[in-house]
Amino acid sequence: MGDVTVDVERLREEVQRKYVEVVEHPEHEFHFHTGRRAARNNGYLDQWLEGLPEEAVASYAGVANPFHWGLPKPGEHVVDVGSGAGLDALIAARAVGPDGHVIGVDMTPEMLEQASAAATAGGIANVEFRQGLAERLPVAKGWADLVISNGVINLVPNKLGAYRQVARALRPGGRVQVADICVERPVPESALRDIDLWTG
Ligand SMILES: C[S@@+](CC[C@H](N)C(=O)[O-])C[C@H]1O[C@@H](n2cnc3c(N)ncnc32)[C@H](O)[C@@H]1O
């Protein structure tokens, strides 16, 4: 998308409101699937979830499986854009092992708190969660071997800006594994301005 016509600040507030509810009330019904059932539906293997704190699993809100193309390799550096309650970042952290490192980035403080608490509860030390925007990733240039993201870029109005940040964070030859929602037809201008359609 070239020009961003939606009110970006208001959109971010609404997105935060929606996902804070997922963290605070994972038992509520949402217009998207959440938790262990969603992870299973998306093709996550039981062994990936085994031993992870229930809170991280319960507040999972991914739309598909960024590990469809394979788990990160031992020793790799991974960035999770829009890490939410942390499930994908924790799975990645266990896959990269003690010589690897994972940075989860999210704009919502409640998500970061939940994800950090889950890492501590799970005894997973090679993961950290940083507050930041997909459009301004707080990660050094060329640091990542792999960037993953799950259900986030569809919520970002400046998609090209977000992908430029992914390219900046990656080392030459690094990989991107994005699970997201794509619309294959042009979206009418009126819909682009309708924040309920972005978050709903
Ligand atoms: C659908 S949830 C997905 C969370 C996580 N990836 C998962 O699979 O459970 C979307 C997450 O993206 C975050 N988010 C949305 N827009 C963002 C942006 N522009 N920059 C950073 N985080 C963003 C929200 O705070 C929320 O935690």
Q: Is 16 exposed, middle or buried (0-12, 13-18, 19+ CB in 10 A)?
A: middle
| Strand order across the 101-106 sheet | 127-131, 101-106, 77-81, 144-150, 170-179
Q: Tell me, in angstroms, the distance from the centre of ligand 1 to residue 82's CA.
A: 4
Q: Which of 159, 196, 161 is nearest to 181 (CA)?
A: 159
Q: Tell me, in angstroms, the distance from the centre of ligand 1 to residue 155's CA.
A: 8
pTM as predicted: 0.94
Determine the pLDDT at residue 112: 97
Q: Which of 61, 66, 64 is nearest to 30 (CA)?
A: 61
DSSP state of 73: P
74-to-27, 92, 95, 100, 151 alpha-carbon distances in Å: 34, 10, 6, 6, 25
Residue nearest to atom 27 of ligand 1 (CA): 84
If one looks up domain 8-199 in CATH, what number appears? 3.40.50.150
Residue nearest to atom 8 of ligand 1 (CA): 62
Determine the pLDDT at residue 6: 82
Give the pair of three-digit tokens for residue 70: 């394979």
Q: Tell me, in angstroms, the distance from the centre of ligand 1 to residue 106's CA.
A: 6
Ranges of residues in the chain with a pLDDT under 70 are: 1-4, 200
Determine the pLDDT at residue 1: 47
DSSP state of 42: T
Q: Tell me, in angstroms, the distance from the centre of ligand 1 to residue 47's CA.
A: 24
**DSSP reduced 3-state for 147:** strand
For a substitution probing ligand 1, which of 129, 152, 163 has the most ligand atoms within 8 Å of its CB? 152
**In the chain, where the domains are located:** 8-199
CB of residue 162 inside a 6 A radius of ligand 1: no
